[in-house]
Amino acid sequence: MKGIAIEGAGTLLTGASSGIGRATALELARRGARLAVLARRRELLESLADEMVASGCNRPALVVADLSVRGVAHDVAARAREALGDVDILVNNAGGGVGGAIWAVGDADAGREAFEVNYWSPLALVEEFLPEMRARGRGAVVNVTSLAQVTAWPGFGAYAATKAAFALATRTLRTEAHGSGVHVIEVIPGAVDTPVQGETRLLPGIERMLDLGRLGDPAVLAASIADAVERGRSRVVYPGRGRFVMSLPGIARRYTHRLAVRSGAHDAELLGSVVRSGSMGDPMARNAREAWERARAR
């Protein structure tokens, strides 16, 4: 399918304050997008906007919102239209998570919030913008899922379920949008060097899986996302070794299961705790993220 030009395109990008989202915002700005960037922390959005201006790019519109709250996405859409007019590119990157065994998380608020951020809010934004894109006969929807949709780890299952659901919805949406001029892209990150690595490594033994290869570079992934939009690609898997996991999920699941059992990850006491992850999650997760950032800054 033919892609669309980023230069001049009205673009809403969620989860722009750090990691993959921040890198993608900078890449899209360099390619001339008219950006509205969303996150929960204004000070980080201001810092991002200042960096864009300092590098010669246009200042983006800032949208401060918490997508873990039901209904917020519709207000976000109104603010994006006010800032951009038509939204030609929607990048659903914002993510949140929850750690803990499936039996511990159950249907707790933390688990429901993770689904709100990772599934319901992105679909609400799709509901807002995709019909308009179809009417214009052009547009792109970029949904960031995760390699966790295939290979969950003990204590990681509730988060993985949100991403698996979002991945299936994205693939279905691509088929539904076929022939409409709307390009649907699934971005599937594996282990990428972002602050989320700090909190993920709180799970016992998971570093044995994460450290099977070098961590990916968020700037490289951001460039691949932008290329996919412009060249009409339907999927980005990064780092590249993740393509094996996506191609042979059954083998990947069996390997992950054996690795987890051998490492004793299923017996860890930490699995009985429920931890909200993310930059505005529980103190344990925030401290782990900050420690990772400090170590990387040295």
Cβ atoms < 10 Å from Cβ of 118: 27
> Contact at 8 Å (CB) between 232 and 3?
yes
- Find the catalytic residue in 119, 159, 238, 255: 159
Cβ atoms < 10 Å from Cβ of 224: 17
- Report the C-alpha gap between 48 and 39 in whole angstroms: 11
Contacts of 184 (CB under 8 A, 6+ apart): 140, 141, 143, 170, 173, 174, 177, 234
> Contact at 8 Å (CB) between 130 and 177?
yes
- Report the C-alpha gap between 177 and 166 in whole angstroms: 16
Length of the chain: 298
Contacts of 249 (CB under 8 A, 6+ apart): 150, 151
- The DSSP H or E segment spanning 25 is helix 19-30
Extended strands (E) in 22-132: 34-39, 61-64, 89-92, 98-99
> Contact at 8 Å (CB) between 190 and 224?
no
The token duo for 17 is 């304050």
Is residue 255 flagged as an active site residue? no
Distances (CA, A) of 180 to 103, 105, 183: 42, 40, 8
Whether the bond between 239 and the residue before it is cis, its omega within 30 degrees of 0, is yes
SS percent in the chain: helix, strand, coil, step 5? 55, 15, 30
Give the position of tokens 């800054």. Answer: 297
Residues taking part in catalysis: 159
